[in-house]
Amino acid sequence: MSDPDERLALLLERLASDSLNGRQPDLEAVVRENADLERELRELWATMILAEDFASFSGLVSENAGQPAQTSDRRSLSSRGSVPLPEPFDDYEPIAELGRGGMGVVYRARQSSLDRHVALKMILRGSLASPEDVARFQAEAEAAARLNHPNIVQVYDVGEHLGQPYFSMQYVEGTTLAQRLADGPLPSREAVRLLVPVCRGVAEAHRNGVLHRDLKPSNILIDDDERPFVTDFGLAKRIPPSGQPGTRDRATTSVETLTNSGAIIGTPSYMAPEQAAGQRGQIGEASDVYSLGAILYAMLTGRPPFQAASPLDTVLMVLEQDPVPPRVLNPKADADLEMIAMKCLQKPTDLRYRGADSLADDLDAWLNHEPISARSSQFTDILSRAFRETHHAAVLENWGILWMLHSAVVLVLCLITNILQWRDAASGTSSRWPYMGLWCVGLGIWAVIFYNLRRRAGPVTFVERQIVHVWAGSMIVSTLLYFVEWQLNLPVLTLSPVIGLVSGMVFLVKASLLNGRFYFQAVALFATGATMAVIPQTNLPDFSISLYGVVAGLSFFVPGLKYYRQRIAR
């Protein structure tokens, strides 16, 4: 089957069928058999899993979270009105349901021995839970229990009742940040005062080797004294403690194997791009920093950085688009806080804050009316940002061999054109039609071949369509210049320097969308266009069109070779 889109659909259908029939989908085997579609398979399978999980998600914290229970009768129904409360067991008496998510349910309970209220979390499906569900639940308890910070919900006890694991936590009387944001953006100073302790708590988790991976407003509780708490470590991942290389212990490995299928872990509107792409190896402390920035963004605007009609559309926005600056949505948002949020939301991880403590330090600086590091104007920082790859650059792996072929096509066309020009100069005759036929037919045939070769490499992305339109425009200009010369009664190739300028513009667009290093190609082609205008004024043979062919060919060949090697190395 030659159509990559059709192959991709059938392969995804095969994986989905395995999942629905109770078999473990073997994504790695499918990828090995279809290496040319690896990137598309991993990303689309991850979004399919997310959409399936998200459809059944009901939110960990209910609308009544933190509110006093209406009754202490253990035989009463839960706050949802349909599920009976569990019978008392061990030291705990469930009183009311606080909320539930895809894996666990949380009750407000009384701990008899200490006469205190606790939050009791139990696995949602009880005795019907799969071994994977149980392992994840136990991993959450282990991750949360190892943390001791005043702004992280404390785990008191971990146990098992009738084969069903549970753990008890600090009960926070109050509300959630999500409920607070339901009324709209927060005042700037209130937002920062709430977020700084959250950042410090997340930094402490990182120092203890725990990534949260699901930071969002509903997982931040706020007590009656306005003290925030980070909760719900259900998607936490063990990593070596901050600043220590560490070794991967058996517990870490066993937890990671639960999510090694490429599934997306997190909540779409607040997850980092590397999470949205299901790239396990790239998820680290910077991923939590991104989520903290998304929370700050929501505090400033009243909505997350990305939201769409479906989880799949939201994931695609996270992967491909940049967030709207907060002050566009809320003109009252502070400019420095906007800059802090946007720094956290950078798609390249190295452009974000080094860690949650660095983010907290900048927020503290803002509270104290001090300069923030996000407003750095060091020349080296400017250069680093200007000449780096963007998050769209990965699409160039599909273009590597095509750009190398294009460089050869351009060079051959230009050399033939120059030979025709020299022949006409020697014979004293000139006809436009050979030039027009060469470029119209030659570029037309190549455009069709190029398009079909690219389609075989996999689905064409949104940013690729933009680049193709700009590039196609430059090719159309290159051929129409002959028609313009004809209408203006100018000698053939009089306007050829324009081709260099148009090609420079194309690489300028590519530099902004794909890779800042394309600025060098843009400058080279602009200079080539200017030089092409000067050469005919000298006593040298007119080799200007060949000069363009060499410079343009190298401009395509060098990055094409790089991305071709990058693709085959994967």
Cβ pair 356, 289 in contact under 8 A:
yes
Parallel/antiparallel/unpaired status of strands 228-230 and 220-223: antiparallel
CA distance linking residue 300 with residue 331, whole number of Å: 10
Q: For residue 496, what pLDDT is reported?
A: 95
CA distance linking residue 141 with residue 138, whole number of Å: 5
What Rg do the C-alpha atoms of the chain give, in angstroms?
30
Mapped onto helix, strand or coil, the DSSP state of residue 89 is strand
Among 2-6, 110-114, 373-377, 408-412, name the one with the lowest average pLDDT. 2-6
Token pair recorded at residue 118: 């606790």
CA distance linking residue 560 with residue 566, whole number of Å: 10
CATH superfamily of 174-376: Transferase(Phosphotransferase) domain 1 (1.10.510.10)
Token pair recorded at residue 151: 């702004």
> Is the pLDDT reported for residue 149 higher than 70?
yes
Mean pLDDT over 244-263 rounds to 42
Other Cβ atoms less than 10 A from the Cβ of 563: the count is 23
Question: What pLDDT band is residue 48 in, cutting at 50, 70 and 90?
Answer: low
Q: Which residue has the tokens 């609308």?
A: 63
Question: What pTM value is reported for the model?
Answer: 0.68
HSE-CB of 563 using CA atoms within 13 angstroms? 20
Question: What pLDDT band is residue 193 in, cutting at 50, 70 and 90?
Answer: very high
Token pair recorded at residue 140: 């959450």
CA distance linking residue 69 with residue 61, whole number of Å: 14
Token pair recorded at residue 325: 């600056």
HSE-CB of 465 using CA atoms within 13 angstroms? 5
More confident residue, 391 or 333: 333
- Catalytic residue flag (residue 214): yes
Question: What pLDDT band is residue 506 in, cutting at 50, 70 and 90?
Answer: very high
pLDDT in tens, 507-543: 999 998 899 999 999 999 999 999 999 999 888 889 9
Q: For residue 78, what pLDDT is reported?
A: 42
Question: What pLDDT band is residue 139 in, cutting at 50, 70 and 90?
Answer: confident
Calculate ∠ Cα 562-568-570, nearest 5°.
105
Q: For residue 130, what pLDDT is reported?
A: 62
Other Cβ atoms less than 10 A from the Cβ of 55: the count is 10
Contacts of 283 (CB under 8 A, 6+ apart): 211, 213, 237, 265, 272, 274, 275
Token pair recorded at residue 358: 């660095």
> Is the pLDDT reported for residue 337 higher than 90?
yes
Mean pLDDT over 429-458 rounds to 87
More confident residue, 148 or 523: 523
Parallel/antiparallel/unpaired status of strands 116-123 and 104-111: antiparallel
Cβ pair 203, 355 in contact under 8 A:
yes
Among 258-267, 479-488, 525-534, name the one with the lowest average pLDDT. 258-267
CA distance linking residue 560 with residue 457, whole number of Å: 15
Among 20-34, 170-184, 448-462, name the one with the lowest average pLDDT. 20-34
In the chain, the N- to C-terminal Cα span, in Å, equals 23
| Averaged pLDDT of the chain | 82
Question: What pLDDT band is residue 3 in, cutting at 50, 70 and 90?
Answer: low
pLDDT above 90 covers what percent of the chain? Answer: 46
Q: How many residues does the chain have?
A: 570
Residue ranges of domains in the chain: 4-55, 92-170, 174-376, 393-568
Beta bridge partners of 39: none
Residue in 214, 232, 288, 362 annotated catalytic: 214
> Is the pLDDT reported for residue 264 higher than 60?
no
More confident residue, 378 or 93: 93
pLDDT in tens, 388-417: 887 778 788 888 999 999 999 999 999 999
Token pair recorded at residue 183: 């009324």
CA distance linking residue 136 with residue 142, whole number of Å: 10
CA distance linking residue 225 with residue 476, whole number of Å: 66
- Considering the four listed CATH numbers 2.60.40.2130, 3.30.200.20, 3.40.50.300, 2.60.40.350, the one that applies to the domain covering 92-170 is 3.30.200.20
C-alpha dist (Å) from residue 279 to 255, 282, 294 = 16, 6, 19
CA distance linking residue 103 with residue 319, whole number of Å: 26
